[in-house]
A and B are shown apart, each in its own frame.
Chain A
Amino acid sequence: MKAPRTPMTARAGTPAPAEAGAGHWPGTVPAAEAPGRLAVPEGRRRDAERFQWGSLALLAPAAALLVVLFIIPVVYAFYLGFTNLQLVGINAVDWHFTGAENLRRLAGDHVFSYSVELTLVFIAGSIVGVVVIGLALAMLMQVALAPLRILAGGIVVVAWMMPAITAGMTWYASTTARGTFGTLMGLANSDFLHSEPMLIVTLANIWSQTGFAMMVFGAALRNIPRDILESAQIENASRLQRFARITLPLLRPTIVTTVLLITLISLANFGLIYVMTQGGPGNATSILPIYSYQQAFQFNNLAYGALVGNTLVILCAIFGAIYVRVSMRRA
């Protein structure tokens, strides 16, 4: 039934009798009647794999939206990064290209380099926490009793589902002075959110993303053939050996993909940190998305904020390239 996808059949404009339904799209018929084009060899399906003008109509709405409100803004952001645009004041109306001036400012900006550091710490901490706890939970779920599995799994997944605003509020309340954690640890008056802000926001991020990793790892674990593990058990492989030599290598592609997703989601998790600390105290939790927002909308430097945002894109591109490298090496 399947026609081989050759460029020849793809480009050939032979009329297709079965295509009567698509005839109402203008343009189909003239293209089909063009004479002297490459003929389709006998026996091939004539309705397969041709360009149809209708396809453009189907793609048009999504393409228009993506170009106007996604791709153009990305390009525009790069341009804005090299201007002196301000949110208010003279330069809000009368702004122009300023070349490398913002770059010079970026190079001397200690808050920016601190912000890059914080971003890397936040990402690394989140990745380690989410992958380790997510994998541990997925493996524990395999052997645990059913009621406990449903209850604990349910709690972790609910934590993952919570909107950023709710998760942020929850963690703010639990870690501020007289919050749940301090009370339970007998340090009721210590404000963890103030004394260890980066640790707390990273923990909150881990808390709100582990459920996702747990579900993905759980599905991957179920796909590992039981007989491999059992034969290793018969060969007297220890639990640690079975984990390191069988489970982990088989899970590697899943872990690599999860790490990339966690990275991207963490970088997009503006709401969680902003609700909890608004980047503070001082600049202690102002990772790149927060610093970009602060520069643009609190210090009124729209252009400089855009430039900080651009460095975030470069950071994402680096992460993406590393991901491609790592997953290529596997193949």
Chain B
Amino acid sequence: MAASAAPVAPARLPADMPLPNRAGLRALSGQAIANALLAIFGVLFLLPMLWLVFASVDARASWSIEVPHLTAANFADVLSGSNLQSIINSIVMSGVSTVIATVCGALAAYALSRRHIAWKGPLLLAVLFLSGVPLAILVIPVFQMYSAIGWLSLLPCALFLAVTSLPFEIYLIKNFIDAVPRDVEEAARMERASTFQILTRVVGPLALPGIGAAAIYGFVTAWGSFLVPLVLITDPTQQPGSIAIFGFIGNAYVRYGDIAAFSLIYAVPILLLYTLSSRLFRGGFVLSGAVKG
């Protein structure tokens, strides 16, 4: 077996160094071990997800993992009535929050990237620091403030979610605007473009991958938020999907298939958006052609 494997070994090596056969063998066995280990990790990470997929299409689902009695009823159940309403609430909450955070974030990021501002360094550091403050400490004072003015509902909650993702969005967009060559903007200024026109016609389109990535970040954070809507929304009909799924567990009559289907559906927009954002980053940044030599 050793004899048959030896001649193949050098061809499989990543480096084209001529290695003696024994080293080649060792590298080959090392690669086999690496592949096996990676496969084991993959299976371990996959295991918890299996229940989610199987139970979501199982008519007789329970907590245990079984061969499903195939049905689409769970998904139909989840996409109707109050469950559908909670998904719509999620869309409204995340959408409003994303628009507020991205517009305010982009304006601030442009000023922080291009304009002269006193104490800019410490200001940016403070913004970065804010993005690290744990939300758990903010919900109590904000709850108290909101309840004083009767704001414990969907849209004010979206506003607060926007604020929580704002610091990181400012940082992200600023990094992208920094990469847009100033010459392009100055050319527009020569042509007497106003600041608004420069923002919407020049810098905005050029920094679009960054603004898009920031918007996706904002949407994903709002969509996945749990603690904030749990505390800041009192009306059950306004609760987003994340709280609605949680409500399933406490029910005396638990519908396991619905829980799995709802959890799965709730994860789908996030998976799609992340894929989109990785494409945004990869398609990235070909701005070097915008300025001539």
A residues near B (Cβ < 8 Å) are: 1, 10, 18-22, 24-25, 47, 49-52, 54-55, 58-59, 61-63, 65-66, 69-74, 76-77, 80, 85, 133, 136-137, 140-141, 143-145, 148-149, 151-152, 155-156, 158-159, 161-166, 169-174, 176-181, 183-184, 188, 204, 207, 210, 230, 239, 264, 267-268, 270-271, 274-275, 288-289, 292-293, 296-297, 302, 305-306, 309-310, 312-313, 316, 320
Contacts and interface: CB of A to CB of B under 8 A. Distances in A.
A73 B108 CA distance: 21
A66 B138 CA distance: 12
A183 B65 contact: yes
A179 B51 contact: yes
B256 to A, nearest CB: 8
A156 B245 CA distance: 24
Nearest to A95: B144
A148 B107 contact: no
Contacts of A288: 136
Given A51-B115, A148-B39, 11 more contacts: A59-B107, A61-B108, A72-B141, A73-B138, A141-B38, A143-B14, A156-B41, A161-B274, A166-B52, A169-B263, A188-B64
A54 B144 contact: no
Contacts of A136: 37, 41
B253 interface: no
Instruction: State the majority secondary structure of interface residues on A.
Output: helix
Chain A CB count within 10 A is highest, among B52, B108, B127, B144, for B144
B246 A52 contact: no
Contacts, number: 278
Interface of B: 14-15, 17, 30-31, 34-35, 37-39, 41-42, 45-52, 55, 62-65, 100, 103-105, 107-108, 110-112, 115-118, 127, 129-130, 132-145, 159-160, 162-164, 166-167, 170, 183, 189-190, 192-195, 197-198, 223-227, 231, 241-242, 245-246, 249, 256, 259-260, 263-264, 266-267, 270-271, 274
Contacts of A239: 30
B105 to A, nearest CB: 6
